Structure 1
Amino acid sequence: MYLSIYLSIYLSIYLSIYLSIYLSIYLSIYLSIYLSNYVSIYLSIYLFVCLSVYLSNYLSIYLSVYLSMYLSMYLSFYLSIYLSFYLSIYLSIYLSIYLTIYLSIYLSIYLSIYLSIYLSICHMEYPI
């Protein structure tokens, strides 16, 4: 009877102390090593794969849709306004100034030279 009580008390105390120490040390060491290695490898691979797949898909879809919409709307709007105003103003000013200056200079020089040559030739053929 005493032996059974003694054994039960001894075993309960021994097992509680042993298990608490053993489990605390073993679990702390095992979990620290296992988790540090496993989690670091798993997270590095998982994050790399997931992020690369996600970013490649997201960026390809988002950029293609966004750029196509943005460029189509922006460029059509910008080019229509820019080209209409720019070309109308530029061409009207440029052509008016350029043509007046060019034609006045060109025609005055060309016509004077041409007429002088033509009249000199005509005068030589048909003297007065």
Structure 2
Amino acid sequence: MSNVDPKTKVTAAQTRKNIAAYQALTNMPDYKANNPAHSREAAEAAYQTLIAAERKAVIDKATSAASDDAVVSARRGLQDVILGVKLEAKALYGPSSDQVAALGLKKKSEKAKKSKKAKVKKTE
């Protein structure tokens, strides 16, 4: 099951974050996904597909709209795998781990707590 809707447009900024998360993943030798779709090998394949697609898009930009479609699809593919990697990392290392932070997520312990608003009494 995909983590990304096929209609989702993955922005260049999100792709940069996904690449940073992928690079962080390459520095986690003990990462072992339970789901093969979120494995180190799947992330490597998705990353290499993106690099190849972007390289091809640069070369063929003026003549091929299909290259843009390949980049969109590759971005979506990397987004799908990275979302899965992030979910797996939370399950493997815990929501407040350094590994989760390295993937670009906030540690659970660093998230702001919701504060209760004080009730204001009306004065007449």
Short-chain TM bin = under 0.3
Higher helix share: 1
Q: Which has the higher contact order (CA 8 A, sep 6+)?
A: 2
Q: Rg bigger for which structure?
A: 1
